[in-house]
Structure 1
Amino acid sequence: MKKIVTFGEIMLRLSPPGWKRFSQANSFEVVYGGGESNVAVSLANYGLPSEFVTRLPVNDLGDCALMELRKRGVATSNILRGGERLGIYFLETGAVSRGSKVVYDRAHSAISTIQPGMLDWEKIFQDTQWFHWTGITPAISQSATDVCLEAIQVANRMGITVSTDLNYRKNLWNYGKHPEEVMPALVEGCDVILGNEEDAEKHFDIHPEGVDVTQGESMNAGAYVSVCQQLMKRFPRCKKVIVTLRGSISASHNTWSGMLYDGTKMYEAPTYQITHIVDRVGGGDSFMGGLIYGLIQYENDLQKALDFAVAASCLKHTIFGDANLVTIDEVEKLMAGDASGRVSR
């Protein structure tokens, strides 16, 4: 089977144990993760050949990030070594009515100074069927944007499916460019677009009507059909638009679903009640990993592909860390309606 390649930044995540606040922390728990690396880990975990491409510093932390990827079965042979440092983010995990909080410390990270021409994308994309990137990478720096565009254009020429998770991060866009100036040129080369209720609005001023995500209601999938249609009209190459549907009852209790629009029909997944969230970071990445797996394995059954993505990401909320470490059997068990959580022995 041909491989799936993802490109972006992997970081060191530091978080106080449990649900402690930063001001209570005497120690931090260590996790390595990032939007695109998390997708690669999911796919490797499902048995698909996956490769992550990035730039890591030549130091112990860069080595640790590399070891984490290799431990999860992700190919790393095209990762560049160089640059100043590994990016860090600090996570304070929220609970009940107190939301989670993220503090970034990623300025001058190794990937932020990557330059076009450093990576031989034609060589990397040999025997590749799918390339995935997210809106986080072009938010890092202009040079990271340029390399991402370079990859997309080569993938387009080689007939490789290209997907993106729009992933708007307001705290990252600080190098002088706004998303609406940068993202359109990148998204023009995408066959599959994933987003949520905020991404399309912040990147392209496209938004659903009558939805207020701060009120905690479950998202109505029907409200997003117009968003999908507008995205497809603006980006004619796109064949599928997928929207994650998260209703935030509290930081500990979310509803979770998704919809897929293929230009003619809208598919909607079941809605799950995630009542005791362990870790929601990486929830969207686990959805994307499940979606890519589903679209490859069940290419003629879009409903099943979507259902797999939603069930996989629902289970991710029960796992500490950025990456989704569930098995195909566990996902399929939930898809079949077994949410009992009974001991397997």
Structure 2
Amino acid sequence: MKIVTFGELLMRLTPPGNFRFAQADTYRVVYGGAEANTAISLSQMGHKLHYVTQLPDTMIGHTAIREVTKWGVNVDDVKFSGEKMGIYFLERGVSVRGGQIIYDRKNSSFSEIDENTFDWETILEGADWFHWTGITPALSEGTAKACLKAITVAHKMGIPISCDLNYRGMLWKYGADPKSVMPELISMSTVVLANEKDVANYLGIEPTEADYQEVEGFGKRCHEFVSKALVAEFPNIKTVVTTLRQTINATHNRWSGVVYHEGNFITGKVYDLNSIVERIGGGDSFMGAYLHGVLEYKDQQMALDFGLAASSLKLTVPGDYNIASEKEINHFMNSKSVGRINR
């Protein structure tokens, strides 16, 4: 399967261990980004991934893209222009102390693209799937227009489109109201990963108290309202996925998910993750593995279970992306000896 993903590749700088920013005198460099993370996950499962972005034509830009190619992702359509690599700083949380992120993405190479930067008709030729996230249109007017162009071309070509809405309030700084940008982009998507915060900030669809229901182990949630509202508003959307997380503390979460497909709700296994190594990339790894399940297993329950298992494994791995193979994930799903050494 040829799958195309589109978004910004970032340099992540993280203090060692559980040091705070104020204590750090060294930082570990990791490269990643929501769409690249999803591409890398899918590549490990045997798909032909094409990742599209723009990076500065510098040693750092080329080093960053080598990290993506190392995991088997095609980057032939990547552009090199501009001077700055997008950066973010991560202070890891532990126990009762939550993590912190500081962005330095303004005027990055990727933020300077526009609707004419990429030849989407050529890039999407022969594609079986296109994936984007709500982070891309949040960066600049140009990235929003480029994202719309990509989605429009994919839609016209009959290519299924998935979106992880991924609302990031700290990124919408260029003057656009997300509610004036996102509905058109979402309207052409086929599969949407969303929660109540996403749809409220992007679409103005807000649940009332009556829309919340008690979900055992996760408190009051309103995924049923969100899912039905999205499908009713946007007829192209065939599937809505919601991940469920209960944050006990920064390194102990309960994790599950729900799929709404063809009028039915499908619930996934609940994972109790009490020693999380890395929160970053959990949703991206879920999305990649879920899409693999949809494309390969043709069964929503299997796709959801596979996505939850893959993302649970990812939360034990440092870095932005999941490098688990399909074989490893299936072994984890079927194993009665979780955590033991495989001999």
With the shorter chain as reference, the TM-score category is over 0.9
Q: CA deviation at 1:206?
A: 3.0
TM-score, scaled relative to structure 1? 0.95
Number of the residue aligned with 1:12: 11
What is the aligned-residue identity percentage?
A: 45
Which residue type is aligned with residue 204 of structure 1? L
Q: Distance in 2 between matches of 1:246 and 1:210?
A: 20
Number of the residue aligned with 2:66: 67
Which segment drifts farther, 190-199 or 270-279?
190-199
Unaligned runs of 5+ in 1: none
Q: Distance in 2 between matches of 1:196 and 1:276?
A: 25
Question: 2:196·2:222 contact (CA, 8 Å) conserved in 1?
Answer: no
- 1:325 maps to 2:323: yes
Q: Distance in 1 between matches of 2:283 and 2:221?
A: 20
Q: CA deviation at 1:321?
A: 0.4
Number of the residue aligned with 1:44: 43
Number of the residue aligned with 2:251: 252
Q: CA deviation at 1:330?
A: 2.0
Number of the residue aligned with 1:303: 301
CA RMSD of aligned residues (A): 1.9
Which residue type is aligned with residue 146 of structure 1? K
Q: Distance in 2 between matches of 1:285 and 1:165?
A: 8
Number of the residue aligned with 1:176: 175
Q: Distance in 2 between matches of 1:318 and 1:101?
A: 19
Question: 1:229·1:263 contact (CA, 8 Å) conserved in 2?
Answer: no
Give SS of 1:306's match. helix
Q: Distance in 2 between matches of 1:220 and 1:268?
A: 15
Number of the residue aligned with 1:277: 276
1:166 to 1:62, Cα distance in 2 relative to 1, 3 A? same
Question: 1:16·1:22 contact (CA, 8 Å) conserved in 2?
Answer: yes
Q: CA deviation at 1:218?
A: 3.6
Q: CA deviation at 1:339?
A: 5.8
Q: CA deviation at 1:181?
A: 1.4
Number of the residue aligned with 1:314: 312
Give SS of 1:42's match. helix
Question: 2:196·2:226 contact (CA, 8 Å) conserved in 1?
Answer: no
Number of the residue aligned with 2:223: 224
Q: Distance in 2 between matches of 1:292 and 1:121?
A: 22
Q: CA deviation at 1:337?
A: 5.0
Q: Distance in 2 between matches of 1:142 and 1:7?
A: 16
In the TM superposition, what are the counterparts of 1:85-100 in structure 2 within 5 Å? 85-100=84-99
Question: 1:221·1:259 contact (CA, 8 Å) conserved in 2?
Answer: no
Q: Distance in 2 between matches of 1:133 and 1:150?
A: 12
Question: 1:58·1:83 contact (CA, 8 Å) conserved in 2?
Answer: yes
Number of the residue aligned with 1:162: 161
TM-score, scaled relative to structure 2? 0.96
Number of matched pairs: 341
List structure 1 segments (4+ residues) > 6 angstroms apart after TM superposition.
none
